[in-house]
Amino acid sequence: MGDKQKVLFVCLGNICRSPAAEGVLKKKLAEKGLDGRIVVDSAGTMGYHVGEAPDQRMRAAAARRGYDLCSRARVFAPSDFDEFDLIIAMDQNNLRDLRDLDPGSRYRRKLRLLCDFLPGSRLRDVPDPYYGGPEGFERVLDMLERAAEGIVAQLADGVSA
């Protein structure tokens, strides 16, 4: 492990939920002066949208809250298991797909659900907004903003360790 903590968000297409998570966390880290110490990236478990910018509906919803989403979609690569310290899946299907790529459970301790960072919530999934209406994108952003504090705290612990 280098001196920077590295966190990767993973969803299905890497054009809605995980790019938004990346954008929200980057802004929170910058506000706390931690952006130079922590690398944030995102990836998808499928490749239909590789190379694309985030979904325009998500870009617009995020921009209204002050987040600039500028990633390009890529597929999760097995080398990401070594590259990243913390890998956060948006839903249980994403987590299952990641575990399938790690049959020996070598990287199990790095894997989390985004909802693990929502204190007091019994939710397990960040709902996929792709086929729904505009409220779905707002809901995703609400969840990501609520989770960001706990993610920053976990990463900051790692930075000072």
* Shortest distance (Å) from residue 49 CB to ligand 4NP: 6
Residue closer to ligand 4NP, measured from CB, 19 or 110:
19
Tell me the two tokens of residue 27.
């802004």
Residue closer to ligand 4NP, measured from CB, 85 or 128:
128
Residue closer to ligand 4NP, measured from CB, 86 or 143:
143
3 annotated active-site: no
Helix, strand or coil, per DSSP, at residue 66: coil
Query: Interface residues with ligand 4NP (CB under 6 A)?
Result: 11-17, 44, 48-49, 128, 130
11 annotated active-site: yes
In angstroms, the CA 124 to CA 122 distance is 6
In angstroms, the CA 100 to CA 105 distance is 9
Q: Among 106, 101, 125, which Cα is nearest to 17's?
A: 125
115 annotated active-site: no
* Cβ(20)–Cβ(58) below 8 Å: yes
Catalytic residue among 41, 80, 91, 128: 128
Catalytic residue positions, numbered: 11, 17, 128
